[in-house]
A = this chain, B = another copy of it.
Amino acid sequence: MALEIPEVVINRLPVYARALSELAAAGEAVVSSQALGELLDVTPAQIRKDLSYFGRFGKQGRGYNVHGLLAKLREILGIDRQWHVCLVGVGRLGQAIAEYGGFRPQGFEILAAFDADVAMVGKTVGGVTVHFIDELESFITSHNVDIGIVAVPAAHAQAVVDRLVAAGVHAILNYAPISAHVPRDVTIRHIDPVLAMQSMTFYIKKGEGGGK
């Protein structure tokens, strides 16, 4: 069944979950698809359709139970648990990633960082110890690392991705500006602000808005 769910739907679920978290924190018990849609600038129909892939939520005309739907989305997404993460590359970008405080509260714990620069080995960045890159595979195996973050220069990124995959990582967050290749059983997401910029200038040029 999971294979039938479009990836764009999966990509929207974390946004819904975040909005529901905010509503829960604000003490809201119930939310309509209309109200949720207005919060997120999406149509109520899209929300209802996206959620329909996973079962029936909410009662006609009564909206969604905020806590119940949030718990269900967290379970569906697998974000109701801790994930083991490793970071490869602790240059300027990698250091900023290690120091970023947003991962840990959401269950993504960066257990270790790796770099080929021996001058960095043994240092601590954002509370994360830097290991020599040759220890990558053994660390991934011994610590059951699920997710790898790639923050190395473009020229080295595919090789690092290949090593992460060979060592058993199932998901990769890639900050290097390349279209890295992964096998079908590995998931990859790219964080690339330049591509995001370039996808907006089309709309500026045309003098019209794009999407969200």
Contacts and interface: CB of A to CB of B under 8 A. Distances in A.
Interface in A180-212: 181-191, 193-212
Nearest to A11: B199
Interface stretch (A44-52, A117-125, A132-140, A171-179): A171-179
A184 B202 CA distance: 15
B199 A185 contact: no
A29 interface: no
Contact size range, A: 35 or more
A176 to B, nearest CB: 10
A208 B147 contact: no
Given A2-B208, A92-B99, A185-B208, A106 B40 contact: no
B173 A196 contact: yes
A193 B102 contact: yes
A159 interface: no
Nearest to A204: B170
